[in-house]
Amino acid sequence: MIKEWPNPNVYRGSVLGAVRNDAMMLQDSINQDIENKAVKTLALMGLLNNLEKIESQAPPMPNNQMADSMRVRDLENLINLEVMRRGAPAVMQGIGPDFKEILK
């Protein structure tokens, strides 16, 4: 009995079908990724737009230099009050020899 080999065209057709199917699935995945990115981009644009609106309505942040000078003024006032209350020697001993550096 002679054994007959299957037709190679049958295998080629099934391989081509599998490759086409894989390519279509990959293309569908790419299209879904593009759609997801578009949706996320639109959501981000909306959030950034809302953030700009909120920031434009908020009062401006204080200048750091101004805040620092206010802290120095407050510290100087506190030291002066403590000098009046406890006396200069006690305050200077508590602060230490570098108290002028604290005020810078």
Length of the chain: 104
Token pair for residue 6? 């299957």
pTM score > 0.85 for this model? Answer: no
Domain ranges for the chain: 1-58, 61-104
Question: Angle at the Cα of 90 (from 87 to 92), degrees rounded to 5?
Answer: 100
**H helices then E strands: how many in the chain?**
4, 0
- Answer yes or no: is pLDDT of 26 > 90: yes
C-beta separation of 95 from 75 below 8 A: no
SS3 state of residue 61: coil
Which tokens sit at 10? 């049958």
Among 2-16, 34-48, 86-100, where is mean pLDDT lowest? 2-16
What is the dihedral angle through the alpha carbons of 49, 53, 55, 58, rounded to the nearest 10 degrees?
A: -170
Percent of the chain with pLDDT over 70: 77
Label residue 83 exposed, middle or buried (CB < 10 Å: 0-12, 13-18, 19+).
Answer: middle
